[in-house]
Each structure stands twice: as structure tokens, then as C-alpha cells.
Amino acid sequence: MVNKLFQHRFLLASLWVLLAVVLTACNLGNGGATATPTYDPNCPQGVCIDDQSDVELGPALDIPGLGLQPACPNNYAHPPEQVYPAEGEVVVDLQPEFEWTFDFGCQPLGFQLRIGTIFDPQSDDLFNGDIDELLTTYSGVELLPATWHRWRVYAHLTEGAYVGNGEFVRFLTGPICEADQLVAPDLIYPADGSVYTGKSWGNEYEVEADISYPGGTCLPDSFTIYISETEDFSTPNLNVFSPAMIFSPNDEGIILVEDDSNDVPDCTTLYWKAWASVDGDDGPESETQSFFTNIAGTCLIPLNWLDLLYIVAPQDTNCRASDFSASKNLGTLFMGEQAEVLAVNPEGTHVLIKEPSYKVSCWIWLGLVDLMQGDTPLDPNMLREGVPIQDPPAQPTPTLVPTFTPTPVLPQCSDKIDNDGDGWIDGRDKQCKDPSDNNEAN
């Protein structure tokens, strides 16, 4: 009797535990709202409500091998996940297998695939069509060589509705070049002759260098960007991260390569060039360009890095208070020094500058200096077209001072005077030896 009572109590307790587990599972399912939708096969037509997740499911689809499956409704928000090619990936095969996944508890009617280049964001010029089978791969598209492409896949819902990602996925195609196919890249940024303000990390200054490579043929396997403190590149490469292969999508039909140098000197003229490589073989080099670093913003920038008119003294040159040679000398522009042109006189012969040593404004004759803008010599005759014209201080009118010319004193023997009172003058006086004798008495 006791054993039967115990058995009944144990059975009752077990039923309570089982009921509690079932109720807990139901509460978790209702509260999370993330359970995978299930399909009631008894509702094959119209819109069905899933009992677990309250998701509206479309009518049933008879999927080969899967049987009846719930169709995704028109307001379904989950797009397919694009797997390959990924964003920014280099695809060597020109007929790759595009791959995506869709596993969200309902079944689309199919998928729509769009593939094109990124030259025209509104055009899917390579492929735009439905994939009839419920496949998640497709490889029937021939891509362009060495070109940025983009692709996007949509799930085809009921009644002609589609759901897809908001952005296209962009990727770059090969094939990899042969060594004899390599060409010189173009230097894009920093621009030649520019002042680079750049970026810094703590006390280290970096230079972001961008180059481009022509697309449409093949792709190098690496690029070298060489940044040096000397024009002959005799100093080590400041770009410690080269060789580089960091591509940036663009819509100009070129392959843009970005790279960051490390710990470059500030307030310095730097020179740079680049080349492409494949399997250790280097292609032709780009032209050499230069820029001036002012990353901290505290550098005294040479005038040849600014878009200003300035003069350079090939020898020590006086700088005067006005444009006439007798005006006071106020300072000197020493050989090799530069000075910004502030104004020109109406005749176009002299320029007003700020003398570097004493910081005084003074005038210099253009015949003694070189007129420049950037690194370009200019014709002084063109100066008055872009510079303020200013009258220098006028040359003072000289004051006339009367002068007294004393009457010359003649010797006594030729002054027509009887100097000794003897009744005889000059040559008639026997005491005069000659006209220059100044003593008529002896």
C-alpha cells in the first residue's frame, strides 16, 4: 500500500515538473520573439500565423526535397547574406562562383543577382536576372580584368517583392600580371609641390601616400612607395609598410593604392616615387615628386612651397627706402634669401618686400634679383598684372645753397700796385725779379 502511494506521489510530482518545464519553454518563446518560425502544414493557402513567433508567413511552397515550406511574406526584413566575393577582396578568377546564404525560417521564391562595374552606380551592366533554382551560388558571369566590380543579391518574395542589402559589395579582379606587363604607377597624393599637413599619432608623424595603377589589363602582386629625405633616394625608405597592397574602390577605371608611412620628419622637404612588382620583379618607376611636411602646423614654410610671388637674391642686394639709388639703405637681402613681393612701383622696375633680417619694408631693383612663383621663374614684365602697384617715397628736391668764390690774391710784382712806395710798380720796380715775386721791396 505504501509502495503504491509512493508511486502515485512520485508520478504526480513528475507530472508537475514536466508541466513546469513546458510552461517555462512557452514563456521563453513568447518573450524572446526570436524563435525560428515553424510552418503549420494544415494552412497551405493564404497567410498563416506562426504560433511560436507571431511571424506572418506566406502560403506554402512545395520545395523539391523539402516538401511544403513557408513562403517569406512581402514585409520580410532579412536580406540574403553575401559571402563571396567579400568587400574589397581581390578575385583572380574572372568567372568566380558568387555565394550567398539565406536561412531565416522561410522560403523565398528564388533569388535575383545583380553584377556590374562601379563606373556607373545605376547600371548593372554584366548581369541582372533571376536565379530560377533555389540555389545560393552562381558562376555564369564573365568579369572584366583588373576592374572594380560590385554585386548584390535579392531574395524574391511573394507577389513580386524583393529584399536585399542596402549597399553593393565591391571587389577587384585579376589576373596577376606577368613581369613584362608592368607599367609605371601615377603619384596622386600628396600632390607635387604641395605642403602636406597630414596626421600624427602622438609624437610620430605619418604621410598617407596614394598612387594609381591603370586598370583593364592585369594586377601587380605588390607596390612599393619610396619616401626619402634626399632627391637621389640615398636615404632609407621612410615608408616602412611597403610593399603595399591596400586597394580603394573608385569609379574612375583605375586601381587606387593607399599606404601610410611611419615617423616622417616634420618641416622637411620629402621626395617620393613608386613602382609595381610581380614575383620579385620590379616594373618601371614613376616620376619623382616632392612635398613639404607641416604636420604639427608650426613650420616656417619656404616661399617656394606657397602660391606666392617672391624674389630670390643671387647675391647680397641692398634694400632701400625708395626706388632711386641715392635713397637710404634699410637692409640687405643676402645671397639665397627669399622675400615675398608686396607691391611694385608704377614703372615696374622695383618691388616692395619685407626684409627678412630687420623686418622692415624696403624696395629692391628687379635687375638684381630673380622673380619666382613656386619653383617657376617669372618674367618681371608680367609682374604688374597680379601685384598691387604702389608709389615709393618721392626723391627729395635738392636745396640750392649759394657759394662764395674768393678773389684770388696776386703776387706783389704783378698786382699793379706800388707796394713799397718807391713810385715804381710790378715789373718796373727794380726789386721785382719776376711776376711771381711777392716782395716788391727787396
**Helix (H) and strand (E) counts for the chain?**
1, 32
Side chain identity, residue 11: L
Better pLDDT: 188 or 439? 188
Cell of 442: 727787396
CA 382 remoteness from chain centre: 32
Q: CB–CB of 87/169 below 8 Å?
A: yes
Provide the pLDDT for residue 264: 86
The terminus-to-terminus CA distance of the chain in angstroms comes to 190
CB atoms within 10 A of CB 261: 22
Q: Average pLDDT of 93-115?
A: 86
pLDDT bracket for residue 229 (50, 70, 90):
very high
What lies within 8 Å, CB to CB, of 394 at 6+ separation is 322
On average, the pLDDT of the chain sits at 78
- What residues does 289 pair with on adjacent strands? 272
Cell of 340: 615675398
DSSP 174: -
Q: Average pLDDT of 285-295?
A: 94
Distances (CA, A) of 100 to 83, 84, 411: 5, 7, 130
Distances (CA, A) of 122 to 52, 88, 119, 145, 170: 41, 20, 9, 21, 14
**Dmax (CA) of the chain:** 197
CA distance 168 to 252: 17
Taken in order 319, 323, 325, 326, the sign of the CA dihedral is negative
Say if residue 32's pLDDT is above 60. no
Instruction: For 380-399, give the secondary structure using H, E and C.
Output: HHHHHHCCCECCCCCCCCCC
What lies within 8 Å, CB to CB, of 315 at 6+ separation is 335, 368
pLDDT bracket for residue 439 (50, 70, 90):
confident
pLDDT bracket for residue 16 (50, 70, 90):
very low
* DSSP calls for 284-337: -----EEEEE-SSS-----GGGSS-EEEE-SS-EEEESSSSTTSPEEEEE-TT-
Instruction: For 241-280, give the secondary structure using H, E and C.
Output: CCCECCEECCCCCEEEEEEECCCCCCCCEEEEEEEEEECC
| pLDDT, tens digit, 9 for 90 and up, residues 348-367 | 899 999 888 888 899 999 99
Say if residue 21's pLDDT is above 50. no
Q: CB–CB of 83/65 below 8 Å?
A: no
CB atoms within 10 A of CB 242: 19
Triad 17, 20, 23: Cα angle to 5°: 155
pLDDT bracket for residue 119 (50, 70, 90):
low
Label residues 411-435 b or e (16+ Cβ within 10 Å = b).
bbbbeeeebbeeeebbeebeebeee
Cell of 50: 506562426
Say if residue 240's pLDDT is above 80. no
Better pLDDT: 159 or 345? 345
Provide the pLDDT for residue 242: 62
Provide the pLDDT for residue 289: 96
Distances (CA, A) of 8 to 16, 18, 22: 12, 15, 21
Poorest-pLDDT segment among 47-56, 254-263, 384-393, 407-416: 47-56
Provide the pLDDT for residue 126: 85
Provide the pLDDT for residue 313: 94
Mean pLDDT is highest, among 116-120, 158-162, 181-185, for: 181-185
DSSP 380: G
Q: Average pLDDT of 289-317?
A: 88
Say if residue 159's pLDDT is above 90. no
Question: Which domains can be identified in the chain, with CATH numbers?
Answer: 43-175 (2.60.40.10), 184-293 (2.60.40.10), 303-385 (2.30.30.40), 411-442 (no CATH)
Instruction: For 309-322, give the secondary structure using H, E and C.
Output: EEEECCCCEEEECC
Q: Which residue has the cell 497551405?
A: 44
CB atoms within 10 A of CB 10: 10
Cell of 437: 715775386
Cell of 60: 506554402
Cell of 386: 597680379
pLDDT bracket for residue 98 (50, 70, 90):
very high
CB atoms within 10 A of CB 181: 15
Decide: pTM greater than 0.85.
no
CA distance 378 to 380: 6
DSSP 2: H
CA distance 341 to 306: 13
Say if residue 76's pLDDT is above 90. no
Say if residue 70's pLDDT is above 80. no
